[in-house]
Amino acid sequence: MAVDARKELRREDPTGEFVRNSSCVARTATGQMTLVSADGMSLGGMWYGNIPGRNEQLRMGFMRNAWKKWEALPEEVRRPGGVKLGAASNKIDTTRTPHKVPPGALVVRVYNRQLEPDGKGGLRYTEPDDYPEGHRRNTPRYRESAQDFMWVPEREWRAMIPAQAKQNESFDAPESFRARVFRFHLDPCRGLGEGVTFGHCDADAGRITLTVEGVTRDSIRLRIDGAAKLDNRKTSYAPTLLGYLTYDRSTKQVSEFRMVALGTVDNTPRGVRPGKHPLGIAFEYVAKPRPSELVHPRGARDGLEEYLAGKR
Partner 1 sequence: MRKTYLLSLGLLATLSAALAQAEQSIAPEQFTSFFQKVKPQNGESRFWEIEWMLDLTAAREKAAAEGKPLLIWSGSGGAPVGAC
Question: In a 10 Å sphere around its CB, with 0-12 CB exposed, 13-18 middle and 19+ buried, how is residue 76 labelled?
Answer: exposed
Give the nearest distance from C-beta 37 to partner 1 in angstroms: 5
273: contact with partner 1 by CB under 8 A: no
Residue 79 or 166 with smaller CB distance to partner 1: 79
> Phi, psi (5° rounding) for residue 171?
-160, 160
Binding mask 3-32 for partner 1 (x = CB under 8 A): xxxx-x----xxx--xx----xxxxxxxxx
Alpha carbon distance 38, 84 (integer Å): 9
272: which residues sit within 8 A by CB, 6+ positions away?
A: 131, 132, 136, 142, 192
The candidate with the shortest Cα–Cα distance to 307, out of 139, 182, 135, 163, is 182
263: contact with partner 1 by CB under 8 A: yes
Give the nearest distance from C-beta 302 to partner 1 in angstroms: 10
In the list 58, 258, 289, 309, the residue contacting partner 1 (rule: CB under 8 A) is 258
239: contact with partner 1 by CB under 8 A: yes
105: contact with partner 1 by CB under 8 A: no
The candidate with the shortest Cα–Cα distance to 71, out of 34, 38, 43, is 43
In the list 34, 138, 209, 253, the residue contacting partner 1 (rule: CB under 8 A) is 34
58: contact with partner 1 by CB under 8 A: no
Q: Which of residues 206-225 bind partner 1 (CB under 8 A)?
A: 223
- Residue 24 bridge partners (DSSP): none
In the list 53, 72, 74, 80, the residue contacting partner 1 (rule: CB under 8 A) is 80
In the list 190, 247, 257, 265, the residue contacting partner 1 (rule: CB under 8 A) is 190
CA angle 187, 230, 120 (to 5 degrees): 75
